[in-house]
Amino acid sequence: MPRPDLAPFIEHTLLAGAATAADVERLCDEAVEHGFFGVCVTPARVALCRRRLDGTGVRVVSVVGFPLGANLTTIKAVEAVRAVGDGADELDVVAALGALRDGAYDLVVEDICQVVRGAQGRPVKVILETGALTEEQKRVGAALAKGAGAAFVKTSTGFGPGGATVEDVRLLRSVVGATIGVKASGGVRDAAAADALIEAGATRIGTSRGVAIVQTDAAPPASGPPVAPAAVAPHEPKGEPTR
């Protein structure tokens, strides 16, 4: 049977650089039709989504420093400010993954703080690209993101190694507790996968297969349909913004 109960968890996603305006408009229209939480797009498409979705209640999510996270921090901060100015409701920033793997944790925190400042109160999700990290690096990255003011930690870009797994979602949830969200993204293709990730602790699902997921014939889990996630308020960032 159809699974409209999953729609409030879903960020309908289109991050292909070659996506046309018509592709993005279709994404927005599908999000409205199916009641998805939001759409997740590249910064260049935020303004178009804002116009298309104005008054619908569907949120506009922009990626920042995507997909490598290797941009200069000042560039990420400027990108965040511009995305907000264009109408983004939330930002998904790729962490400074090289610095995280180097153990340069001050740099990781400062990178996130600058984006949180640039978001001007909008929720920021920190993408950890879990497929590229050790278990300890995942733990440290999640803790640093929470401490730097992130409203969510997120598993993957969908462009790196691996994708969202139940094990990683459970691990991230164990680190951040119940006070911030966990977004599972990367390879979520059906309702069964979405159910498993939500059961493990995900409060948001990023996927390009949202329509297929809510129209699936799969039954909800034996424990009943998932409860729609409560909104997560952004945390107060630390540090000073880039001028």
Residue 61 tokens, joined = 């999510």
For the question of residue 238 being annotated catalytic, the response is no
Q: Where are the strands (E) in 179-241, listed by range?
A: 181-185, 204-207
Q: How many C-beta neighbours within 10 Å does residue 5 have? A: 16
CA distances for 72 relative to 96, 98, 106, 113, 233, angstroms: 9, 12, 14, 13, 27
For 66-99, b/e burial (b = at least 16 CB within 10 A) is bbebebebeebbbbbbbbbebbbbbbbbbbbbeb
Q: Is 232 helix (H, G, I), strand (E, B) or coil?
A: coil
Q: Is 40 helix (H, G, I), strand (E, B) or coil?
A: strand
Active-site position among 76, 146, 183, 195: 183
For the question of residue 190 being annotated catalytic, the response is no
Residues 6+ apart with CB under 8 A from 178: none
Q: How many C-beta neighbours within 10 Å does residue 59 have? A: 19
Please give the Cα distance from 187 to 181 (Å, whole number): 19
Active-site position among 86, 111, 154, 195: 154
For the question of residue 183 being annotated catalytic, the response is yes
221 prior amide bond cis, ω within 30: no
Active-site position among 92, 111, 168, 195: 92
Residue 230 tokens, joined = 């409560």
Please give the Cα distance from 214 to 220 (Å, whole number): 11
**Catalytically annotated residues:** 92, 154, 183
